[in-house]
């Protein structure tokens, strides 16, 4: 999480207000308009319910205080303004205290379809609606506490659990259809359509398998893991996650389902 970035986060003023340019607001407006069309029938009901609760503006970047007022009232969470990328330690510390890190920049328009770094559209539009859901919020809180207590080596494996659930998770709807709950998909027009196509491999969620699955952040995901419902996150919380991390470390990773990243010449 603490790698190089070309983006610079916006600093709040003395009143906690973050100033954005008209162009940045227009980027939010265009991203919102694109995903508003893509998500019905694809995003899970709990996410769409969260969108309704947040009532975030469609034509401008929301202030974090607007989001916080809803999150605090529903699940006791709030956002925390952070630089573009933060350390694992800081990330886990925030989640463990029910604060969701939000990078306060917005992507350039040449990275509309997919962004490696988490921008404010990814964090607010992709993740915050589900933080109004008790199961999702509890899973995120538990994950933060586990990560805070974990070793550096254990955190590498825990990162895969977050990746294949909170970021790129799929679930079944009440009618048995495929739905999206991962914020990395929900905030990406390109990956939303890709995830619901016949291209990726979809496997039922298995904690040990998830912890052993490699991933790359700069490509469309070749594999997604499917949970039965949002309530299943409560079941994951009850599992002995750290014991399973130990097993995963002993067994090692699966063979990657992607080509290795080309080295810069």
- The catalytic residues are 122, 127, 167, 187
Q: Are 83 and 103 in contact (CB under 8 A)?
A: yes
In three-state secondary structure terms, 40 is: coil
Q: How far is residue 155's CA from residue 109's CA, in Å, rounded to a whole number?
A: 33
HEC readout, 169-221: CEEECCCCCEEECCHHHHCCHHHHHHHCCCCCEEEECCHHHHHCCCCCCCCCC
Which residue ranges make up the annotated binding site for Fe cation?
122, 127, 167
- With H, G, I as helix, E, B as strand and everything else as coil, classify residue 112: coil
Nearest in space to 41 (alpha carbons), one of 200, 231, 195, 225: 195
Count the Cβ atoms, other than its own, within 10 Å of residue 133: 24
* Largest Cα span, the chain: 52
The DSSP symbol for 252 reads -
Tokens at residue 172, please?
């079944």
The tokens for 36 are 């508003």
CA-to-CA dists, residue 87 to 18, 94, 207, angstroms: 23, 11, 24
């Amino acid at each position: 999480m603490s790698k190089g970035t070309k983006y610079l986060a916006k600093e709040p003023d003395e009143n906690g207000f973050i100033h954005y340019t008209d162009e940045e607001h227009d980027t939010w407006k265009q991203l919102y308009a694109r995903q508003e069309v893509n998500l019905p029938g694809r995003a899970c009901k709990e996410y769409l319910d969260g969108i309704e609760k947040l009532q975030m503006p469609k034509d401008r970047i929301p202030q974090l205080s607007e989001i916080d007022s809803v999150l605090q009232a529903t699940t006791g969470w709030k956002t925390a303004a952070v630089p573009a990328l933060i350390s694992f330690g800081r990330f886990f510390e925030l989640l463990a205290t029910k604060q969701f890190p939000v990078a306060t920049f917005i992507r350039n328009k040449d990275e509309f379809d997919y962004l490696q770094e988490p921008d404010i559209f990814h964090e607010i539009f992709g993740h915050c609606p589900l933080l109004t859901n008790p199961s999702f919020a509890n899973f995120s809180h538990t994950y933060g506490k586990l990560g805070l207590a974990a070793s550096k080596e254990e955190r590498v494996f825990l990162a895969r659990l977050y990746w294949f659930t909170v970021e790129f998770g799929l679930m079944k709807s009440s009618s048995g259809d495929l739905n999206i709950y991962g914020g990395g998909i929900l905030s990406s027009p390109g990956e939303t359509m890709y995830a619901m196509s016949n291209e990726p491999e979809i496997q039922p969620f298995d904690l040990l398998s998830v912890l052993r699955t490699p991933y790359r952040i700069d490509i469309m995901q070749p594999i997604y893991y499917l949970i039965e419902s949002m309530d299943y996150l409560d079941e994951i919380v009850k599992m002995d996650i750290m014991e399973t991390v130990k097993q995963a470390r002993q067994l090692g990773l699966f063979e990657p389902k992607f080509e290795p990243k080309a080295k810069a010449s």
